[in-house]
Structure 1
Amino acid sequence: MLWINQFLEKMVIYWKTCERIEQFIREEERLQQEIAAMKKEKEYLHQDWYIEKLARERLNLVKPGEIVVELVPSQNP
């Protein structure tokens, strides 16, 4: 009886360990994807067109002489 109890405790520990390993594997995959996205953005940051795109989208900057047109959705669908 004692042996069965010890065996079951070890199985529970093993099962929990396997679960944690799976969580770590999923987290590693997510982080690898995040790293790949950051590397791609780092490459883009060396290109003028991307810097201009960020300036327009995030800072609402425009070139001299450009006219900004902002579309406002109507309140009546």
Structure 2
Amino acid sequence: MNKAAYLDFVVEVIRRCDDQKGFQVLPRRWVVERTFGWMIRWRRLVRDYEKRTDVSQAMIYVAMGGNLLRRNANP
């Protein structure tokens, strides 16, 4: 059993319509793109330098924790 099934997560992939022409905002996709943009501010997360996934995961936690601290310290 994977962790997503254990925690009852529902993963929904947002796809664009085949008949769509031009740009159209997709629902909730901006949340993921915004989060990736925040992580890119941390130099170690720009490229995949880490050989171990647990170290990479820890760096993501550090980056997001730093982001939360910065936002709470400077409202």
Same-fold status (TM-score > 0.5): no
Q: What is the TM-score with the length of structure 2 in the denominator? A: 0.32
Rg: which structure is higher? 1
Q: What is the TM-score with the length of structure 1 in the denominator? A: 0.31
Q: Higher helix fraction: Structure 1 or Structure 2? A: 1
Q: Which has the higher contact order (CA 8 A, sep 6+)?
A: 2
